[in-house]
Amino acid sequence: MHHDHQGGVLWIITLVAIIAVFNFAPIPQDRAYHRFGDQRLIAGLPNFYNVISNIPFLLIGFIGMRLVVTQSPAGGLADLRWMHFAFFAGVFLTGIGSSSYHLYSNNRILVWDRLPMTIGFMALFSAIVDEYISTRAARAIFVPLLIVGLVSVFYWHVTEQNGHGDLRLYALVQFLPMILIPVILCLFKSDPERSKYYWGMIAAYALSKGAEYLDAELYDLVGAVSGHTLKHVLAAVAPYIFYRSLRQRERIIRAA
């Protein structure tokens, strides 16, 4: 398929997704969202396991940022450095925001959980555009996508405060990249070794969303751990896979 046609497919998917999402009525935050399957109070911490299961985000975000800062920016990684750093910064801040949210579990704190996640989503998508499609395109969309991600959360928060919450833009920011990334991996030529890491990230994220959906059911079934706790652990696997991919690239560059 010609490069222009491949890009056209991405634009069509994006346009269809935008039209489809905004054909829905505004989507308020479900109040039941804050009622987790496992709400045990342990060591003075409410939702204990949902709080401490964010530790992997902190650890992976930190070692990822350190790797990006200390590695030699060769082999094309120089262009991606800020995108990679923003991704791991988003992961690290998600650990802080999510653990804080689970301590209090309300919409006011949920904002600080969602904001860094949009940074991670948008930075990862920009990096993949850079690697698979065009460095120029990635540079052009990186900052605007970060802004759109942040705006999507603030827009939801303001509308929620005004009594007519609307999650549509945030839903688009969270899920559209997860649709476009597999399409990019399939349509654009790339190193299979590199692509396998991205497919692993997609699989980990998909499993995490499944665990989140089955939060109470998994807690009733397993007893020791809830679906939401598993969601955090599985979601943290995705940035760890990305971290391992960067380490692998660094070793290849040094050996060259």
Tell whether 5 is covered by a domain.
no
Tell whether 19 is covered by a domain.
no
**Position 75 pLDDT exceeds 50:** no
Give residue 33's Cα distance to chain centre.
Answer: 19
What six digits make up the tokens of 11? 């634009």
C-alpha–C-alpha distance, residues 126 and 137, integer Å: 9
CATH of residue 137? 1.20.1070.10
Tell whether 105 is covered by a domain.
yes
pLDDT value of residue 77: 62
The residue type of 244 is: R
Number of domains in the chain: 1
For the segment 136-163, what is each residue's pLDDT rounded down to a tens digit?
A: 999 999 999 999 999 999 999 999 999 8
Tell whether 193 is covered by a domain.
yes
Tell whether 230 is covered by a domain.
yes
pLDDT value of residue 255: 55
C-alpha–C-alpha distance, residues 65 and 68, integer Å: 5
Tell whether 243 is covered by a domain.
yes
Tell whether 27 is covered by a domain.
no
Looking at the chain, the whole-number percentage of residues with pLDDT higher than 90 is 77
- Domain of 212 in residue numbering reads as 44-255
Tell whether 147 is covered by a domain.
yes
Half-sphere exposure (Cβ direction) of 206: Cα atoms closer than 13 Å: 11
Prediction pTM value = 0.92
